[in-house]
């Protein structure tokens, strides 16, 4: 992919911004690591033509911008893709993705317009999409997978993704893990979903810390106040960095399994330390 977004490498906080609010574009870019200009759920159908025009009229850095188009088969899908590519964006988010055929259709539309080398973030947010996550992740143009709780539960005929205490229901937790595993199995980035309760910064922090510890590369959000919480959660602490550096230095002189600060250390633990140092390079 040329000129697209490096998921995770640009930073962990991905902020949604309605594409029909160009007055918010620059502020969203300033406040986040990556902006997701949303042509789908955040924009009423009647406002989508104007939102598509705004993409070109108010350009952002394409290496830090994703455009969420409408789903494959929808009335706005083709026009959204054409508008995003014409505006210079090369990373598209495909919502309600359910098949490799949908991914290839986007590739074909881009190629027909003279654009190659696009990157796709596929949203696995229906029952069919979660089950298709391994096939979606295997597609070459797919740069990342993201999951979504609310559309998933709606696709099942349910009414709430969370328990009264705020924790996700088991079906949502299963979907989250399934998407993460599918992404990891194919060497793709995984993005954790949004935390809809804007005022619950503590809950967001807990989920973001779990996300990065589990292997997610980034977390999406819906409000600028959530950005710093996500960044803090993904940023290794000074003590974590000290320990990782010391562990790696010790590992250089060891031929196999060894004990370090009371813990047995083998190759997977060494890889954990390397991943933590790499993450430190991409969090501000």
Is 144:217 a contact under the CB 8 Å cutoff? yes
Q: Which residues are annotated as a binding site?
A: 68, 125, 151
Cα 152 from Cα 87, distance rounded (Å)? 31
Q: Which residue, 10, 282, 197, 238, is CA-closest to 119?
A: 10
Residue 119's DSSP bridge partners are 91
pLDDT value of residue 149: 96
* Low-confidence winner among 5-9, 34-38, 178-182, 204-208 (lowest mean pLDDT): 5-9
pLDDT at 257 over 80: yes
Is 90:4 a contact under the CB 8 Å cutoff? yes
CA 65-70-73 angle, to 5 degrees, is 140
Q: Per-residue confidence at 246, pLDDT binned at 50, 70, 90? A: confident
pLDDT value of residue 258: 86
Cα 224 from Cα 204, distance rounded (Å)? 13
Cα 99 from Cα 101, distance rounded (Å)? 5
The distance from CA 161 to its chain's CA centroid, rounded to whole angstroms, is 19
pLDDT at 284 over 80: no
pLDDT at 223 over 80: yes
Q: What percent of the chain is predicted at pLDDT more than 70?
A: 98
DSSP character at residue 197: -
pLDDT value of residue 108: 96
- Reading the block at residue 171, the tokens are 């079906």
Cα 94 from Cα 124, distance rounded (Å)? 9
pLDDT value of residue 240: 82
Q: Could you give the domains of the chain? A: 13-234 (3.20.20.60), 238-282 (no CATH)
pLDDT value of residue 260: 87
The distance from CA 129 to its chain's CA centroid, rounded to whole angstroms, is 15
Q: How many CB atoms lie within 10 A of CB 280?
A: 16
Q: Which residues are annotated as a binding site for Mg(2+)?
A: 125, 151
Q: With the C-alpha atoms ordered 215, 171, 195, 229, is the resulting torsion angle positive or negative? A: negative
pLDDT value of residue 2: 58
Segment 28-86, tens digit of pLDDT: 999 999 999 999 999 999 999 999 999 999 999 999 999 999 999 999 999 999 999 99
Is 146:193 a contact under the CB 8 Å cutoff? yes
Q: Per-residue confidence at 1, pLDDT binned at 50, 70, 90? A: low
pLDDT at 242 over 90: no
Average pLDDT over the chain reads: 94
Cα 276 from Cα 210, distance rounded (Å)? 14
Segment 160-184, tens digit of pLDDT: 999 999 999 999 999 999 999 999 9
Q: Which residues are annotated as a binding site for substrate?
A: 68, 125
Q: Which residue, 34, 38, 66, is CA-closest to 51?
A: 38
């Amino acid at each position: 992919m040329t000129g697209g977004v490096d998921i995770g490498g640009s930073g962990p906080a991905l902020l949604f911004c309605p594409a029909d609010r160009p007055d918010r574009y620059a502020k969203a870019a300033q406040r986040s690591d990556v902006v997701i200009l949303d042509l789908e759920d955040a924009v009423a159908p009647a406002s989508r033509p104007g939102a598509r025009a705004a993409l070109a009229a108010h350009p952002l850095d394409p290496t830090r911008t994703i455009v969420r188009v409408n789903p494959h088969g929808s009335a706005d899908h083709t026009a959204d893709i054409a508008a995003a590519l014409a505006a210079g964006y090369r990373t598209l988010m495909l919502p309600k993705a359910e098949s490799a055929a949908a991914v290839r259709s986007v590739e074909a539309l881009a190629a027909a317009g003279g654009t190659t080398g696009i990157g796709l973030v596929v949203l696995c947010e229906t029952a069919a999409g979660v089950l298709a996550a391994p096939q979606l992740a295997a597609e070459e143009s797919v740069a990342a997978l993201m999951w979504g709780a609310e559309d998933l539960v709606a696709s099942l005929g349910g009414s709430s993704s969370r328990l009264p205490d705020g924790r996700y229901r088991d079906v949502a937790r299963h979907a989250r893990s399934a998407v993460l595993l599918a992404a990891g199995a194919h060497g793709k980035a995984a993005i954790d979903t949004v935390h809809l309760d804007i005022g619950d910064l503590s809950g967001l922090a807990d989920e973001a810390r779990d996300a990065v510890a589990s292997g997610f590369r980034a977390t999406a959000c819906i409000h600028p106040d959530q950005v710093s919480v996500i960044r803090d959660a993904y940023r290794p602490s000074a003590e974590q960095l000290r320990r990782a550096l010391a562990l790696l230095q010790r590992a250089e002189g060891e031929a196999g399994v060894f004990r370090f600060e009371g813990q047995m250390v083998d190759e997977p633990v060494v890889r954990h330390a390397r991943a933590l140092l790499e993450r430190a390079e991409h969090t501000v």
